[in-house]
Structure 1
């Protein structure tokens, strides 16, 4: 169903990961944005039109699916957004890359900037990117000086590969726009179906907000943690691989990332 034809009831049904009087954690489908900007419709507007006021705490891209958090009242919104800004929120993504050969653990330390037409890019020449023992970086002398740059770090664990695709659990240490998508593409491991780097792709973008954990100040600071299950289309590039087995492997990968 096209995003413009979806109703709030269609999206909400079966997608609630956590809900109380203060917050709603939803498993967002791909193809619908979180908040307006240039999009024809979005979750906040669809909810409002259906009589439910929600305040987006963070965003994930329109082509990205998975866990997205809303405050139900404005008085709770500030505390939740501060948790994202202070990086006390736990978050991890599932990623299917269109490549193999990544290490079991990796770290991408590449600054970002806005390129032509506002597109996010690495703030350094591509040929200056180096990899050493699973960490990608650029020398400080190569970072562009004529544009505003943003230090950006993504950590990942490779939990499966078939020689053509790899499944990663990725943890964005920083939360820049398009960070995981740009980081992986620029080190030569683009996300399957990502229209930023493959406009001819016929598959969905295989980037999924899989794990989210936050503190509920209105409930004595209780830590709320949930996983969002990807849909069948996410797993299609993995062929005959068993999604349940891949999720078990992803759980183990996430545990290694959260140890640090």
Structure 2
């Protein structure tokens, strides 16, 4: 995707103040640190703007990216991600049906061959207990693993797809993508699990962020990035004719407690 930084910044702006910049990143652009890719931080630096990423989302994922313009704000915000007090919500479209209205995926992650994230247990050991997917502790593979929990709510379904709102409680690398795929509900167009190239993008979107921000009045950042039309179009067919109503339902499911 070929954008000049000024054009990308203007088109994708969600919120900005003296300390932070929030953008609605298109799928296909890296945030920072991707080998062999020009990323957003480099693009900004080339135009004289220094930005410090508060968090990362994958290149294939669209949606909210929060960057600090000064180090004091960066430290305050990243501590909330590290302590897992930042509230995050994502949207995804799965290439499947049959998910419950609400569910929890409680599966530890590990890193396997070629640095690939996987569930830290044999696939056949994953069991569904009510509307929670888990593995017994005895089935967790030896070695380093990371407890990981994703909560979700099903917003809509067609004959072939389901639209989900998700909250990654633990926020591990590739967590939502791996969790959904390993329980049999992969995200449409996810290259980690679908090498066909049949879809122009991965249908995962960083939708909402809420963090404390001491320099603001009131002292909070409450951000939302509305998905663009390409998120809703699975191939040439939209999964909903009324995205605004669907997002309204998603907000209702996360307010006031913000728990899915």
Shared fold (TM-score greater than 0.5)? yes
RMSD (Å) for aligned C-alpha atoms: 1.5
How much has 1:54 moved relative to structure 2? 0.3
1:68 aligned counterpart, secondary structure: strand
Q: Is the 8 A contact 1:94 1:170 kept in 2?
A: yes
Distance (whole Å) between structure 2 residues aligned to residue 256 and residue 192 of structure 1: 30
How much has 1:256 moved relative to structure 2? 7.7
Distance (whole Å) between structure 2 residues aligned to residue 243 and residue 153 of structure 1: 27
Q: Among 178, 183, 189, which residue is 1:182 paired with?
A: 178
Question: Where does structure 1 differ by over 6 angstroms across 4 or more consecutive aligned residues?
Answer: none
Q: Is the 8 A contact 2:232 2:240 kept in 1?
A: no
Distance (whole Å) between structure 2 residues aligned to residue 248 and residue 163 of structure 1: 22
**1:25-44 Cα shifts (integer Å, max 9, x gaps):** 11111111111231421010
Distance (whole Å) between structure 2 residues aligned to residue 37 and residue 201 of structure 1: 21
Does 2:9 align with 1:12?
A: yes
Query: 1:113 — aligned with what?
Result: 110
**1:132-151 Cα shifts (integer Å, max 9, x gaps):** 11100000000001x21000
Q: Is the 8 A contact 1:158 1:253 kept in 2?
A: no
Query: 1:193 — aligned with what?
Result: 189
1:75 aligned counterpart, secondary structure: helix
Q: Is the 8 A contact 1:160 1:249 kept in 2?
A: no
Q: Among 160, 166, 171, which residue is 1:170 paired with?
A: 166
Unaligned runs of 5+ in 2: none
Query: 2:247 — aligned with what?
Result: 247
Query: 1:135 — aligned with what?
Result: 132
Which deviates further from its counterpart, 10-19 or 49-58? 10-19
Q: Is the 8 A contact 1:16 1:27 kept in 2?
A: yes
Does 2:83 align with 1:86?
A: yes
Distance (whole Å) between structure 1 residues aligned to residue 257 and residue 3 of structure 2: 36
Distance (whole Å) between structure 2 residues aligned to residue 192 and residue 115 of structure 1: 23
Distance (whole Å) between structure 2 residues aligned to residue 257 and residue 138 of structure 1: 28
Distance (whole Å) between structure 1 residues aligned to residue 5 and residue 153 of structure 2: 35
Distance (whole Å) between structure 2 residues aligned to residue 221 and residue 244 of structure 1: 27
How much has 1:245 moved relative to structure 2? 2.3
Q: Is the 8 A contact 2:158 2:239 kept in 1?
A: no
How much has 1:251 moved relative to structure 2? 1.8
TM-score by length of 1: 0.94
Does 2:19 align with 1:22?
A: yes
